[in-house]
Amino acid sequence: MNEIELKDFIRSIPDFPKKGIIFKDITPLLNNPFAFRSVLEIFASKYGDQNIKRIVSVESRGFILGSALAYKLGVGFVPVRKPKKLPYDVIREEYQLEYGADALEIHTDAIQNGERVLIVDDLLATGGTAAAACNLVERLGGSVAGLAFLVELTFLRGREKMGKYDVFSLIQYQEGV
C-alpha cells in the first residue's frame, strides 16, 4: 500500500479541537487491519536493519504506532508522557507551542548510554513535541537514529526544526485540507 492509498484512510475533521484547525484523524487507518499492517511493514522495512534498541513515542496516538513497531522489531518501547503521568523518577523537557508552553517526561532509566533510538509518532506538525522527545533521549545518553511519522503537515515546517535528524513520514499534506 502506498502513500496515496494510505491517505484514503485519514479523515480530515474541520475546526477540531478548535476553529481553524483541520485535525487529521488516523482512527480509520488503525481500524483497517490491512492499512495498519502496511504502515508497520513500511516502517519495519526502513528501520529493521538499523540496530535500533528502543522505540520512543509520545502519548497518545504515538503509543499505538510505536508499541506495535517495537513488538515487530523485537525492541523495547519507551513512553514519553505529559507531566506527572509516569510513576518513577523522570527527567522533564519544556518546549514552546504556538499558543504557550508544555512539557514532556521520560523515566530516567528508560534508555541506556549509547543506545540507538527511533522516535515514532502519528503526526509531525510544528516539530516542538518531536524536538522535545529528541532532547529527552539525548539527555539520557541515547542516540536518535531517526524520527518516523505516519503523517506530516509540511506547510507547518516541523521538519526544519528537526535539523540534524533523519525524518521519515509516510503521508504528507502540503496544506491544511
Instruction: Look at residue 35 and tell me if it is in a domain.
Output: no
From the list 61, 81, 116, 159, the catalytic residue is 61
Instruction: Look at residue 25 and tell me if it is in a domain.
Output: no
- Could you report how far apart the first and last alpha carbons of the chain are, in Å? 22
What does residue 18 show for φ and ψ, rounded to 5 degrees? -145, 165
Query: What are the pLDDT digits (tens) for 19-28?
Result: 988 999 999 9
Instruction: Look at residue 17 and tell me if it is in a domain.
Output: no
What does residue 4 show for φ and ψ, rounded to 5 degrees? -60, -45
Query: How far apart, in whole angstroms, are the C-alpha atoms of residue 103 and residue 118?
Result: 20
**Catalytic site includes residue 61:** yes
Instruction: Look at residue 36 and tell me if it is in a domain.
Output: no
**Catalytic site includes residue 157:** no
From the list 5, 94, 98, 116, the catalytic residue is 98
Q: What single letter denotes the amino acid at residue 2?
A: N
Looking at the structure of the chain, the number of domains it has is: 1
Closest CA to 106 of 129, 71, 140: 140
Domain span including residue 156: 50-173
Residue 97 reports pLDDT greater than 90: no
Q: What is the CATH number of the domain that holds 164?
A: 3.40.50.2020
Instruction: Look at residue 18 and tell me if it is in a domain.
Output: no
Instruction: Look at residue 19 and tell me if it is in a domain.
Output: no
Residue 1 reports pLDDT greater than 80: no
Q: What number is the average pLDDT over the span 84-92?
A: 98
